[in-house]
Amino acid sequence: MKVVVGRPPVYDQIVELIGRPPSNAVFTWGDTLFIPSEGIRSQLDAALMEHENTHTRQQARAGGPEKWWERYLHELAFRLEQEAEAYQRQAAVVKVLGLPRHVRRNYERQLARDLSGPLYGHLLTRQAAFALITGRESLSTSIRNRRSRHGNELAAVHTAV
């Protein structure tokens, strides 16, 4: 994967449709990872790279980054599905590192804060994100138990997941 300092082609749409991302957010467009500054490069550990490589594979399966991002930005259930897979793979990398359980749990809690936060449009609660990332809850259960503020959009896909 190429790592480039800059913004992805869809950055303005991300800001418009989801909100301004945190200053340290990274984005995958095909086989390119866009980072906001050179200083972020040192934070690209194996677990985060697995997360981003998951998005590369997802984008390829979707027919390319343009199609993937179109769905990602406009379909909440699709966004949650894609991020759930990426976060689960990221957590799996941390698990195989053999870190002490409390260190791994703290990492998983941070992932849950990220997944439930503004970067993704507050798609679910922190508790639901933690359960999803750690495999304690399925994606369909997370959708069923979603935050009510998203109305029926996530609930409608429950039967499709």
Six-digit token pair at 9? 């082609």
pLDDT, residue 58, reads 98
Instruction: Give kind and range of the element (H or E) at residue 15.
Output: helix 11-17
pLDDT at 135: 87
Name the residue ranges covered by the structural domains of the chain: 1-74, 76-161
32-35 and 27-29 as β-strands: parallel, antiparallel, unpaired? antiparallel
The residues that bridge with 33 in the sheet, in sequence order, are 3, 28
The pLDDT value recorded for residue 161 is: 33
10-residue mean pLDDT series, the chain (161 residues)? 97 96 96 97 95 98 98 96 96 92 95 94 93 76 50 41 33
Q: What is the pTM of this model?
A: 0.85
DSSP state of 64: S
Annotate 110-151 with three-state secondary structure: HHHHHHCCHHHCCCCCHHHHHHHHCCCCCHHHHHHCCCHHHC
Q: How far apart are CA 120 and CA 70, in angstroms?
A: 14
